[in-house]
Structure 1
Amino acid sequence: MSTNPYHSLLQHLANCPDSADIEALFRALLTEKEQQEIANRIRIFDLLARGVTQREISEQLGVGIATVSRGAKAMQAHDVSALLATHRESA
């Protein structure tokens, strides 16, 4: 097990056999607000990948335009497009 706390978290998530276990771990680790913020970030990534404008995303999700802009910058900086495409295809 890694001594880096973040890598340790990733290892725990990778070891979860199914989504119910991941959900239980997230419920234990994160507040409801933190869970919602992560879910919104993923939704922002997905909507941006589908070509929805930042303003429309802000309105759809009920979050500020700055939140969407930060999500767009993070998506661009970390190039998660391929990961999102893989997720959409398997969903």
Structure 2
Amino acid sequence: MQQRGVSRAYINDLLSILQDSAKDVMFLDEFLKDLLTPGEYDALVLRWQIIKRLAKGMTQREIAKELHIGISTVTRGSREWNNPKGGFRKLLKKK
């Protein structure tokens, strides 16, 4: 599956380096901070916190209040959480 014209080979290349760097948490953190803008990095971190709270059964309003973010930000995460083919549920089942 291509995303916005990005080739599958490019996606696989990124996934491979992420998999390799995941073995060293500090290196992965540095790599992600180099790869992403500070705003993108923060958004990624918050998205994961949203998903974890949705998995615990918190309401969108509770999450928005707790994380000091807009309800629309939580709603975006909620759409992904409710995707039965998405990776969030698969990952949380492993934990």
Same fold, TM exceeding 0.5?
yes
Distance 1:3 1:72, change over 3 A: closer
Gap runs ≥5 in structure 1: none
Find 2:67's aligned residue among 52, 61, 66: 61
The structure-2 alpha-carbon separation of the partners of 1:83 and 1:3, relative to structure 1 and needing over 3 Å to count, comes to closer
Corresponding pairs, count? 86
Alignment of 1:36 onto 2:46 = no
Separation in structure 2 between the aligned mates of residue 67 and residue 33 of structure 1, nearest angstrom:
13
> Which protein has greater RCO, CA pairs closer than 8 Å, 6+ apart?
1
Are 2:40 and 1:51 aligned?
no
More helix by share: 1
Question: 4+ residue runs of structure 1 moved beyond 3 angstroms?
Answer: none
Structure 2: which 5+ runs fail to align?
1-6
Deviations 1:37-58 (A, max 9, x none): 0011100100000011100101
2: CA distance, partners of 1:21 / 1:79: 23
2:80 counterpart residue number? 74
